Structure 1
Amino acid sequence: MTSDPARSTSGEAGNPRVLIVDDNRDLALSLARLLQLMGYEVHTVFDGHDGLRAARAIAPHAILLDIGLPNMDGYQVARALREEGFDETMIIAVSGYGQEEDRQRSRQAGMDHHVTKPVDVKTIASLIGKPE
């Protein structure tokens, strides 16, 4: 999509839109490809500011949001999205940290779920829901 700040890998029309926001490009693109093969419409960006812009542009069903982003971390992105009214969008924290304190901090920022890296694509798919 040339006007979209998110790099897009399209699935079938009408399938859940997933936005991946992660500064680890290899991880983001690999996960995007796996989800696309499962039938999701997937968009990827690599920092928090682009994550906000992409969410506004594509209105994703779910966002896989890395916590440790440069400049604007995942907590800040999640809070900003919730403040802007993205109440129906599922936000899933993706982090290398999985202690209870980390999970609580994700919840306080407005995230619905917290998964640890390495990400299991089947877990993600079960949280997001299956494409039709």
Structure 2
Amino acid sequence: MPDTTNHSSEQPPRVLVVDDNSDIADALGSLLELHGCEVRVAHSGEAGVEIAATFKPRLIFMDLGLPGMSGYQAAREILNTHPDWPLRLVALTGYGESVVQKKVAAAGFDTYLLKPARMAQIQEILDTI
């Protein structure tokens, strides 16, 4: 599958995927790599915060319902620690729309996708980085 993503720089965009379901995280990571992204995967909020600090992603797909540090908490931590980063945060959730919309905005997410996310939705987000 060819890379159809329009990236603003010569380097592949760095994308972090954070999901405690390793099958979902690894599948999304592989899909993003096929689309020309440099990807790291974390399976907890704490690991996501730690990897983000050194990897410096341009885009993070973050599950909200993580054990321990939730996706909401991890997003706030990343944004508070690195307020100058040009970062897009996308929440991934299985929760219903009405429950999520206000909470993700308050936590600093740019948008959210309901699981399972469709490739067209992911591509739209990739096109913005």
Q: Same fold (TM over 0.5)?
A: yes
Question: Does structure 1 residue 120 correspond to structure 2 residue 118?
Answer: yes
State the TM-score, normalizing by the size of structure 1. Answer: 0.84
Contact kept, 8 Å, 1:31 with 1:121, in 2: the verdict is no
- 1:130 deviation in Å? 7.1
Question: Does structure 1 residue 92 correspond to structure 2 residue 62?
Answer: no
Unpaired runs of 5+ residues, structure 1, are 1-12
* Structure 2 residue corresponding to 1:48, chosen from 12, 32, 45: 45
Mean CA deviation greater in 45-54 or 77-86? 77-86
CA distance in 2, matches of 1:130, 1:114: 14
- 1:120 deviation in Å? 1.6
Q: Secondary structure at the match of 2:17?
A: strand
- 1:79 deviation in Å? 0.8
Unpaired runs of 5+ residues, structure 2, are 1-9
Query: Counterpart of 1:63?
Result: 60
Mean CA deviation greater in 20-29 or 116-125? 116-125
Code of the aligned partner of 1:29: D
Classify 1:130/1:90 alpha carbon distance in 2 versus 1 (closer, same or farther; 3 Å). closer
State the aligned residue count: 119
Show CA shifts across 1:14-58 (max 9, x none): 110000000000011011111111111111010000000000011
Q: Secondary structure at the match of 2:60?
A: strand
Query: Counterpart of 2:16?
Result: 19
Identity of aligned residues (%): 35
Mean CA deviation greater in 87-96 or 22-31? 87-96
CA distance in 1, matches of 2:78, 2:57: 11
CA distance in 2, matches of 1:123, 1:55: 23
- 1:122 deviation in Å? 2.6
